[in-house]
Structure 1
Amino acid sequence: MDVRVALTYTTPKGTQTSFSSEAMPAAKALLLAEDLEKTGRAAQLTFFDNYDGRWTFKQLKKQLDIIQTEPHGMTVYFDGGFERDSKKSGLGCVIYYEQNGKSWRLRQNALVEELETNNEAEYAALHLGIRELLLLEVHHQPVIFAGDSQVVIKQLQGEWPCYETELNKWADRIEDDLHRSGIDPVYDLKSRQHNQEADWLAAQALKGVDITSMREL
């Protein structure tokens, strides 16, 4: 979870101004804010997350304590496969995360029949991963989304335009879900070689093999 620190600063002679920092990890922001408070010259300390949510010092500290007992340190691998002849799509996602000092892996796949292109399947696979995050009640923290689809990654990063109506709908759906949950996405383009687990899950879905699993690593 990254935040900006906003505060009012007063010099010993009474000159006053307001400051706002760049975004930084919440733990670092709390340390800096605590040090500034010790000077006796900083007031109205407020923290803002990437969605302009407002946090007090106590609220943010409590949130970080809560995060340690909830799923955090999330990385979501996703992949989608599309069969042109059957019009079936296989979706796969793998989620790695930490909780209560332990490492976990969640696997999920799905077979869908209403999509029209491979790019749609890739978007749907990412959305499947986000749905699993919401089921885990992940919120207000950064999440890495890793996939081998240049179209999905580049479009969601804003580097490539999106002209296709259906892909725009998927992008809007994804961004709405992320915004509502306070998830700050970090998109990571992988080679197919480094996305084999999600690719395998998507392939199994196309074969009619349902996979849902969670295990401690």
Structure 2
Amino acid sequence: MKVRIEWKYRSAKGVETSFTSEEMTAAQGVFIAEDIERTKRVKELVFIDMYDDSIWTMKEMKSYLKSIETEPHDITVYFDGGFNVGTKDSGLGCVIYYKQSGKSYRLRQNAQIEGLVSNNEAEYAALHLCVQELEFLEVRNMPVRFSGDSKIVINGMSGEWPVIESELVSWADRIEMKLKTMGIQAEFELIPRKENFEADRLATQALKGIEITGTSII
């Protein structure tokens, strides 16, 4: 969950004003809010959920963080797809970073598939692979950031660009339906190709017939 803190400050002489923080994770927000409260100058402090503008008290936010400790959270997904024009094979790469039970993990998965018609379709298929992996992790009702270097996919899924090609519409619909069913609050981020090197490498390895799968503590 991404939040911002809003609090009312009261000076020693009773002068009041309000402050709003920058966006941050819920855990960072609680840490900073506790530091603010130690000033003894806080009249009121709440957290605003950046997803739906809902308001949370300190008690509610701490309870929420406690409830998700044993579930995958703070999730960032990297995806990439490659397409071999000669063989018509596609390579899909997926990297998922998440936290669970006080530890940080990295999941890597790739796949080679047939029957796609373009690199753009391979990119959508790679995103779909990532959503499937999230389902295997039993991710539910969580915010997830999806990062990729495909403008077609990122802008299409975020609604910035229309999705026109029928094969891409089909993938987009399947992905959106799965995200809705899982209650995932998706944020799509376009990143430079060099920042997507892990997923890109996995996609390339898949095209070469090298299978990669596994989860490690980082």
CA displacement at 1:211 relative to structure 2: 0.5
Structure 2 residue 203 is matched with structure 1 residue 198 = no
Matched residue, 1:68: 69
Task: Provide the secondary structure at the position in 1 that maps to 2:96.
Answer: strand
Matched residue, 1:208: 209
The answer to whether the 8 A contact 1:77-1:94 is kept is yes
Aligned-residue sequence identity (percent) comes to 57
Q: Which runs of 5+ in 2 are unaligned?
A: 4-23, 34-48, 53-58
Map of 1:111-150 to 2, 5 A cutoff? 111-150=112-151
Q: What amino acid maps onto 1:198 in structure 2? A: A
In the aligned structure 2, how far is the partner of 1:135 from the partner of 1:99?
A: 15
Matched residue, 1:81: 82
TM superposition score normalised by structure 2:
0.74
Q: What amino acid maps onto 1:119 in structure 2? A: N
Map of 1:93-104 to 2, 5 A cutoff? 93-104=94-105
Task: Provide the secondary structure at the position in 2 that maps to 1:68.
Answer: coil
How many residues are treated as equivalent by the alignment? 190
Map of 1:17-56 to 2, 5 A cutoff? none
Task: Provide the secondary structure at the position in 1 that maps to 2:108.
Answer: strand
In the aligned structure 1, how far is the partner of 2:194 from the partner of 2:119?
A: 18
In the aligned structure 2, how far is the partner of 1:25 from the partner of 1:96?
A: 15
Matched residue, 1:35: none
The answer to whether the 8 A contact 1:178-1:185 is kept is yes
Matched residue, 1:170: 171
CA displacement at 1:199 relative to structure 2: 0.4
Q: What amino acid maps onto 2:205 in structure 1? A: Q
CA displacement at 1:25 relative to structure 2: 7.3
CA displacement at 1:124 relative to structure 2: 0.5
In the aligned structure 1, how far is the partner of 2:201 from the partner of 2:119?
A: 16
Map of 1:171-190 to 2, 5 A cutoff? 171-190=172-191
In the aligned structure 2, how far is the partner of 1:26 from the partner of 1:100?
A: 16
Q: What amino acid maps onto 2:162 in structure 1? A: P
Q: 1:49 to 1:192 in 2, by over 3 A?
A: closer
Give CA deviations for 1:156-175 in whole Å, capped at 9, x if unaligned: 11111111111011111111
Matched residue, 2:10: none
Task: Provide the secondary structure at the position in 1 that maps to 2:68.
Answer: helix
CA displacement at 1:90 relative to structure 2: 0.1
Q: 1:161 to 1:170 in 2, by over 3 A?
A: same
Moved >4 Å (runs of 4+):
24-29, 48-51, 58-63
In the aligned structure 2, how far is the partner of 1:135 from the partner of 1:86?
A: 30
In the aligned structure 2, how far is the partner of 1:72 from the partner of 1:78?
A: 18
Task: Provide the secondary structure at the position in 1 that maps to 2:120.
Answer: helix
Matched residue, 1:12: none
In the aligned structure 2, how far is the partner of 1:203 from the partner of 1:215?
A: 21
The answer to whether the 8 A contact 1:2-1:141 is kept is no
